[in-house]
Structure 1
Amino acid sequence: MNSQRAKEITASPEMIHVTYNGVPIYIQNVDAKNETARIYPLDHPNQEQTVPLQSLSEQ
């Protein structure tokens, strides 16, 4: 996923389905400079992590 699309998803008022390694996630914020995103699994909001944007997939 590119940083512009990840930012659009983050700003969207609608829930857009995105996965990381097949797991549905929520994107908290995007770091375009480093091409990373701060995410957490929808069913485990306490498991935040920073991942490469390329590893995210829009469903």
Structure 2
Amino acid sequence: MTAPFELGDVVVVTRGPFVSLCGVVWEVDVDRSQVRLDVRVENHQRTVYAEFDEVELL
């Protein structure tokens, strides 16, 4: 399986507690179908792990 995202991609979270936040992909785990991204919440940078189907490319 090829990953639908690459390092540095800008994505928006479409489900879960961080819905509608934008972030930058810093890690892609194809085996787990997950990405690690950084999002900004109330002026703080947060690391978020999301499934491939919980984010979309901008």
Cα distance change, pair 5–44 in 1 and its aligned pair in 2 (3 A): farther
- Bigger strand fraction: 2
Residue pairs, 1:5-16, within 5 angstroms = 5-7=4-6, 10=7, 16=9
Partner SS for 2:53: helix
Q: What TM-score, normalized by structure 1, do the two folds share?
A: 0.66
4+ runs of 1 displaced by more than 6 Å? none
- Percent identity reads 10
TM-score for both structures, normalised by structure 2:
0.67
More helix, by proportion? 1
* RMSD across aligned positions (CA): 2.3
Aligned length: 51
Match of 1:36 among 34, 37, 46: 34
Point out where structure 1 has 5 or more consecutive residues left out of the alignment. none
How far does the alpha carbon of each residue in 1:13-35 deviate from its partner, in whole angstroms, 9 at most, with x for none?
xxx54101211111110000000
